[in-house]
Structure 1
């Protein structure tokens, strides 16, 4: 999906509030995400797809994937200032709005080079240790980030994500379905809808499957997925 297509039909881009993004990504504090989305700085960490309206923050699917990237590297101790500089340099070099949502298989070497150059310029010892450590920690982090993510072969941008790709392999987050909220099964039914119905039907999986015209296994997977999100 190109940026032109996104601008012509924003319904294809996915919509997430900060609370929804935090829940999906397992980030305990919404304030962390609000802080990362600040646009008042010269070098924004994430170049947003949607402008805030009346202070309401909405994220697109690509914004969500980039927040996931940032969260992972922040947990490794990298500073926001450093990541902002990396993001700005990567946007300039790649000529793309969302450099942290690009495929590892095509951009790993270039992205690592930008991390390396920026770390040397800023004398970021923590980052240099990650990049040059004997255990190839940077590659390990990138590998972890790519798990469960499918990329568009034409643009190399993320197009679909399975948050729990091993435990719930049929639950996907895809901006083409349900405004990007998690769906399951051939009918792409929102997991939240199945979960709520299950609770209201006294936890009767068979009745829920009949109500939505889907399989019991799809209902079970939706329940497992939503339960993991609430833990």
Structure 2
């Protein structure tokens, strides 16, 4: 159940990615669709199958943080291009450096008025640092896992390509969120779902509330 290539192995559809990152699917489609995409994708094996690899999920997550600052699309594209050029890395948005040097780059862009954020520099730093703290990095500085902050912290719902083929799982048990939802939608009561997977009923209830 491990994804061995976070750059080439698709784990989510665009719709799933948008839903888990709480963004508009149409926005993500635009980021994926150009000749020079903001978010990397791969050709799906079949129409409607997953096309977003883990690195693309992280890129979309970082760019969504910029959208939260109400940055225009042209400015987001400029910020992504400059960050990639600055670090000489097409995957710069999914590297640990984006959490340190990258924040400084975005703040500098705002100061140079290449990127315009209505809330100013302080908001850029605060918003990006708040979002980036949910990413866990590996020893080589690549993104390793993303905690989905819309779920309660004690539930610890994560996207980690090492588990569940990249589908969101509970961090401690590695049970897929979709398995909980499907069992519940099949008619199993919440207590029964919790018992089936040996989970705390309160965790299951909260996960289902946010997932469904």
Shorter-chain TM band: 0.7 to 0.9
Q: Does residue 19 in structure 1 map to residue 15 in structure 2? A: yes
Question: Which residue is 2:126 aligned to?
Answer: 140
Displacement of 1:117 after TM fit?
4.3
Give 3-state SS (helix, strand or coil) of 2:116's partner.
helix
Structure 1 CA distance for aligned equivalents of residues 41 and 15 of structure 2 = 17
TM-score (structure 1 length as normaliser)? 0.74
CA distances 1:45-85 after superposition (whole Å, capped 9, x unpaired): 22x14135666561112211211221221231212222222
Structure 1 CA distance for aligned equivalents of residues 34 and 47 of structure 2 = 12
For the 8 Å contact 2:147–2:158, the answer to whether it is kept is yes
Which of 175, 181, 189 is residue 203 of structure 1 equivalent to? 189
Displacement of 1:16 after TM fit?
0.8
Task: List aligned pairs for 1:25-174, cutoff 5 A.
Answer: 25-27=21-23, 29-40=24-35, 43-46=36-39, 48-51=40-43, 56=48, 58-103=51-96, 107-113=99-105, 116-117=108-109, 120=112, 123-124=113-114, 126-127=116-117, 130-131=120-121, 136-154=122-140, 156-164=141-149, 166-174=152-160
Displacement of 1:191 after TM fit?
1.5
Task: List aligned pairs for 1:184-203, cutoff 5 A.
Answer: 184=170, 186-203=172-189
Displacement of 1:169 after TM fit?
3.7
Unaligned segments of structure 1, at least 5 residues = none
C-alpha spacing 1:145/1:44, structure 2 compared with 1 (3 Å): same
For the 8 Å contact 2:155–2:207, the answer to whether it is kept is no
CA distances 1:109-140 after superposition (whole Å, capped 9, x unpaired): 344235524863xx447249622xxxx22220
The count of residues paired between Structure 1 and Structure 2 equals 207
TM-score (structure 2 length as normaliser)? 0.79
The ranges of structure 1 where at least 4 consecutive aligned residues each deviate by more than 6 angstroms after the TM superposition are none
Structure 2 CA distance for aligned equivalents of residues 157 and 97 of structure 1 = 13
Structure 1 CA distance for aligned equivalents of residues 115 and 42 of structure 2 = 35
CA RMSD of superposed structures (Å): 3.0
Question: Which residue is 1:229 aligned to?
Answer: 211
Find the structure with the greater CA-based Rg.
1
For the 8 Å contact 2:76–2:115, the answer to whether it is kept is no
In terms of fraction of residues, the more helix-rich structure is 1
Question: Which residue is 2:165 aligned to?
Answer: 179
Displacement of 1:107 after TM fit?
4.6
Displacement of 1:17 after TM fit?
0.7
For the 8 Å contact 1:150–1:160, the answer to whether it is kept is yes
